Structure 1
Amino acid sequence: MPILRSLLLLFVLYQAAVVSARGSKSISPWQTLSGNAPLVVARGGFSGIFPDSSVNAYNLAQLTSLSNVILWCDVQLTKDGAGICFPTLTLDNYSDISTVFQNGKANVYQVNGVAVQGWFSVDYTLKELANVYLTQGVFSRSDKYDGIFNILTVEEVVSSEVQPAGLWLNIQHDAFFRQHNLSMRSFVLSISKHVVVDYVSSPEVGFLSSIASRFKGTKTKLVFRFLGMNDVEPSTNQTYGSLLSNLTLVKTFASGILVPKTYIWPVNSGLYLQSPTSVVSDAHNQGLEVFASDFANDVVFSYNYSYDPIAEYLSFVDNGNFSVDGVLSDFPITPSEAIDCFSHISKNSTGQAPPVVITHNGASGVYPGCTDVAYQQAVEDGADVIDCSVQMTSDGIPICLGSINLIEGTTVALSPYGIRSVIIPELQNTAGIFTFNLTWKEIQNLKPAISNPFLDYQLYRYPAHKNSGNLVSLDYFLSFAKTKPLSGVLVSVENAAYLAEYQGLSVIDAVIDSLNKSGYNNQTLQKVMIQSTNSSVLKEFKMKTSYELVYQVDETIRDALNSSIKDIKGFAHSVSVTKQTIFPKNQGFLTGVTNVVDKLHSYNLSVYAYVFTNEFVSQAWDFFSDPTVEINNFVSAANIDGLITEFPGTAVSYRKNKCLTMGNNTPNYMLPVQPDGLMQSIPNNALPPAEAPNQILTDSNVIEPPLPPVVQKLPTFVTPGPAAAPTASTPNGQPQRATDFFLSSLLLVLLAFLIF
């Protein structure tokens, strides 16, 4: 009996364990209302690339997104009652209608009490619109696909050519169409009889209320769309802000709400995130799904996301506190990646091995480059290697700064040292204030300045950090790095010949001395990488050290002679090349892929690509304004060994994503793009003009004469910069009286002439 009782007890415990295990497996990691993963809704298809609501936009959305992606159609009605998919009530901004009907004119109609001028669908039959073609209505996007695609009807969107997994109809202006004796209600009810409509949304309470009973118990879900907080809903005459506080009312005619993303994560006037609101939890408590809108990769969203759109999506779907039920995006590939590959990853995850993440002036996309805070951010982001571009001060101190010209990384031009501006033709043709013109103590008094490489596009980097941090010496950099979980440091050395010949400074000896003092020798756990565009510099380091030497090819090349690669192999272990060396592009479109990486690999040279940034204008159109798509192509298609980036957090995040180890099951949105795929879809008459081919790397590009000896030079003449009287500096920081010397000599000559 005791044995039987024991067996029964074990059986009961086993059953309880099974039930518990089953229960734990049923717990969803998603905090959506249903517990399912959030939906991706493609606004007008992939409207970030192709014209909104075009057949190519819809097809690309399905090709690059989650398998259950929902295609969004903004429904407009024609004069004869046909439903077309078009993003706006007026047709002129997203089509060529004004050129097709040159003898016509724009009309003025009242839309919710506001006079609106434009070309309206209600003035044309479907047949009349047959010769009207779609255009890209967002002018910052490519216009190469304008005038190719016809306007589609709703029926055509669900035809065999598209076959959407799901369809969302947005009815934005029911009241306007009723004024023109057209019924959106009749259209929606009619189309739903022979087309599966998954969602119908509208910002009008009256419209949704009028169809609610007809869709009760069907697959179709009704969603109330909120506009701006202070906008007035026409059928109730209440603001959307006030309606938000009455979700019980919304629940009577809708099963979900669609809100601008700022309803959930507000941003202040400076584009910084505020605390999230309770909109999602409030709606979920009422049994309402929540969809967020206004997502696009090529707009300036909050600086908190560092121009990384995946980081933004994750804040809506995987923040630990709530999740929206879906997102409406112009670039559906990015939320697909975020949801399927980047969500629910432990912060302690180490990720995959490739690629090596090397910083460019630290995390210089977030803080001023080469500052203590930029390096600290890079370590927190998980970078493998942090870098220091070495410059020399007048008193012989090696420091970290992205440029030898202090104007490019500090506020020196606004300081008392601004009068030291000079032109040095050996370095640059414009005036500069150079590091060797100031002592280290003087430079320490300067404020660093964050880089803004895309100011022409009004893209600013974290303005709140624009002068944060402190400039650091190479000694500080090495001491800092040695205590951090890094695999190594990279030290860049440039202008060695000029510094030796004209300033009496040996940057190579200074670097080696700092490395030795800091304890970086061949026995340290962290490797040391020395990078330079000058083979003579690397040869000098090879004679004196055994560090990893990186030859930086500063030209964009299309190929390299075998003999030139053999030359490189003689003095370097790896090579860094520009991104366009690997994926050349023309007017933003990829034209193919070179075999430069493969050739360098065949000589056992590692290859690093530079410089990766998150701003969308830095990426080819083919990468969909998504820095993760760009990184994925360089890693999975080009097989680079490492990347040099100003946003190490994005690169490290890529390395952790769950889709890297899926092999043949890798989803489409994590597969590399066809290098010239978008170019091939451009009509011949719209193709950008062919550009001259990039150069081939030859022996003459690589082989250089030895470095000159370090010789203390006599004062030399320098051409003054436009800002101040010229003074050049000697290595000890004392000003050279070049102009005084010249004037004194001239005076003696004149006196001699007069005496004679």
Structure 2
Amino acid sequence: MRRLPAFAMALSIAASAAAAPVVIAHRGASGERPEHTIAAYARAIEQGADFIEPDLVMTKDDVLVIRHENDITDTTDVAEHPEFAGRRTRKTIDGRAVTGWFTEDFTLAELKTLHARERLPKLRPANADWRGERIATFDEALALVRSSPRKIGIYPETKHPTYFASIGKPLEKALVDALARAGFTRADDPVFIQSFEVSNLKALRTLTRLRLVQLIEGGTPPYDQVVAGTGLTVADMVSPEGLKAIAGYADAIGPYKLLIEPRDAAGRAQPPTTLVRDAHAAGLLVHPWTFRSENGFLAVGDRIGTDEAARGDAAAEYARFLGYGVDGLFSDFPGEAVAARAAFVAKAAE
């Protein structure tokens, strides 16, 4: 990717001002509540997020539940349940050996006996005090969205679709059916379905008119393409030709944010690449991930102090990316993202 010249950056700013970018609550307001819990989603809605984002995995009895991974070792209290000690096992997920407890080995009723736990307790100790949240189903998240007094969208991700298909639990039809039951079937409904893989997005394209998003890692190619031996790389995907290919089956890309704003070896933000402009030229929306407020996730120039867990100047990072012309962004702190968007829109209107 090329770096974006100053005049082109100005055009991006003007384009962004024309339509306010959306704020996607990454796993809910996960900076303030344990991720992927109803409490996190409710907090995000309260803070003004446009979409909540559930990651979807499958249970033993084929129910879609919300967890960042099917491995629930670190995000629930399953290890404290002696009745499930024998379920601990070792599996290979996307080519990586993992030891723990997995959603596909539990019925929904069994999972509902567990409590969610903060995934990053040292970074977010206040979240660790939330001890009563249960694992949520996708249907429960949909009900929360439908009951909101204001219009809220939902932005589900299919997790490890190649793996789940390999064990006879494909995610795609179950996902589309759940959305249809909630009344979401049209291309203009407030829904985006996302995946890091390619083949399941193409399969979804044959099942639904809802908008699809190709997620893009910083350097790791889609696992299904690794399995298929296509040789597809991230560099291929973010090239103008690769973006045109993505536009053949998806409506947007969700790139790792450093593919838009790289950092040097010292962690300082560098001038933006042309990815936003190239994606727009291909007809794709751009929703980068993930924006977090702690110093450890920010560019050196946005950090305040030396404590990695302390809040830095996240507003400065939001302002830059909004200026690059992104159409939305994923944030662990949706309230801060909403405030930064309001400031950006107000300044653009001056």
Q: CA deviation at 1:567?
A: 1.4
Corresponding residue for residue 101 of structure 2:
433
Q: Report the CA distance shift for 1:603/1:362 in structure 2 as closer, same or farther (over 3 A).
A: same
Q: Which of 604, 608, 618 is the matching residue for 2:287? A: 608
Residues 411 and 630 (structure 1), Cα distance of their counterparts in 2 relative to 1, 3 Å cut: same
User: Which residue among 27, 31, 44 is the counterpart of 1:361?
Assistant: 27
Give the residue type in structure 1 aligned to 2:216.
Answer: V
* Equivalent in the alignment of 1:476: 140
Task: Give the counterpart letter for 1:519 in structure 2.
Answer: G
Choose 1 or 2 for highest CA Rg.
1
Verify the 8 A CA contact 1:486 1:526 in the aligned structure 2.
no
Partner of 1:587: 266
Q: Find the aligned partners of 1:608 and 1:663 in 2 and give their Cα distance.
A: 20
Q: 1:444 aligns with which of 112, 121, 128?
A: 112
- Asked if the contact 2:78/2:114 (under 8 Å) is kept, the reply is yes
Superposition deviation, residue 662 in structure 1: 3.6
Offset of 1:526 from its aligned partner? 4.2
Aligned partner (choices 649, 652, 659) of residue 338 of structure 2? 652
Find the aligned partners of 2:349 and 2:213 in 1 and give their Cα distance.
Answer: 34
Q: Which residue of structure 2 aligns with residue 629 of structure 1?
A: 316
Paired residue total: 307
The one-letter code sitting in structure 1 at the alignment partner of 2:180 is: N
Contact kept? 2:69, 2:159, Cα under 8 Å: no
Contact 1:366–1:461, Cα closer than 8 Å, also in 2? no
TM normalised by structure 1 equals 0.39
User: 1:434: how far off?
Assistant: 0.9
Equivalence for 1:383: 49
Distance 1:619 1:373, change over 3 A: same
Report the equivalent of 1:412.
78
State whether residues 364 and 451 of structure 1, in contact with CA within 8 Å, keep that contact through their aligned partners in structure 2.
Answer: no
Inter-CA distance 467–587: structure 2 relative to 1 (3 Å threshold): farther
8 A Cα contact 2:113 2:134, kept in partner: no
Percent identity over the alignment is 28
Cα shift at 1:497: 2.1
Q: In the alignment, does 2:346 pair up with 1:661?
A: yes
| 217, 240, 243: which one aligns with 1:565 | 243
Q: Distance in 2 between matches of 1:600 and 1:352?
A: 17
What is the SS of the residue equivalent to 2:61? coil
Distance 2:184 2:45 in 1: 19
Q: What is residue 11 of structure 2 aligned with on the other side?
A: none
Residue-by-residue CA offset, 1:675-725 (whole Å, 9 max, x unaligned): xxxxxxxxxxxxxxxxxxxxxxxxxxxxxxxxxxxxxxxxxxxxxxxxxxx
Instruction: Tell me, yes or no, if the aligned pair for 2:189 and 2:210 is still in contact at 8 Å.
Output: no
Superimposed CA distance per residue, residues 548-586 of structure 1 (whole angstroms, 9 cap, x where no aligned partner): 000000234578323211210111000001111111112
Query: Which of 620, 626, 634 is residue 299 of structure 2 equivalent to?
Result: 620
* Cα gap change, 1:463 to 1:490, in 2 (>3 Å): closer
Q: Answer yes or no: is 1:555 the counterpart of 2:241.
A: no
Counterpart Cα distance in 1 of 2:182 and 2:243 = 33
Judged with a 3 Å threshold, the aligned counterparts in structure 2 of structure 1 residues 588 and 474 are, in CA distance, closer, same or farther, namely same
Separation in structure 2 between the aligned mates of residue 352 and residue 382 of structure 1, nearest angstrom? 20
Deviations 1:495-540 (A, max 9, x none): 22222222x11211111221122222228x7422110011111111
Shift in Å, 1:617: 1.4
Amino acid at match of 1:610: W
Aligned residue identity for 2:196: T
TM-score normalised to structure 2 length:
0.82
Structure-2 separation of matches of 1:389 and 1:662: 34
Q: What residue in structure 2 maps to residue 493 of structure 1?
A: 158
Q: Contact 1:359/1:378 (CA < 8 Å) preserved in 2?
A: yes
Pick from 422, 425, 432 the counterpart of residue 89 of structure 2. Answer: 422
RMSD across aligned positions (CA)? 2.3
How far does residue 660 in structure 1 lie from its aligned partner after superposition? 4.1
Distance 1:481 1:634 in 2: 27
Distance 2:317 2:195 in 1: 25
Alpha-carbon separation, structure 2, partners of 1:647 and 1:595? 27
Alpha-carbon separation, structure 2, partners of 1:527 and 1:561: 28
> How many angstroms does 1:614 deviate by?
1.2
> Partner of 2:135: helix, strand, or coil?
coil
The residue aligned with 2:309 is: none
Matched ranges for 1:715-726 at <5 A: none
Q: 1:517 aligns with which of 178, 181, 185?
A: 181
CA–CA distance in structure 2, aligned partners of residues 432 and 575 of structure 1: 32
- Residue segments in structure 1 that go unaligned for 5+ positions in a row: 1-350, 666-756
The 8 Å contact of residues 558 and 594 in structure 1, kept in 2 or not, is answered as: no
- Structure 2: how far apart are the matches of 1:626 and 1:353? 25
What residue identity is the alignment partner of 1:607? V
Which structure has more relative contact order (CA 8 Å, sep 6+)? It is 2
How far is the alpha carbon of 1:649 from its aligned partner?
0.8
- How far apart in 2 are the matches of 1:570 and 1:599? 15
Runs of at least 4 residues off by over 6 Å: none
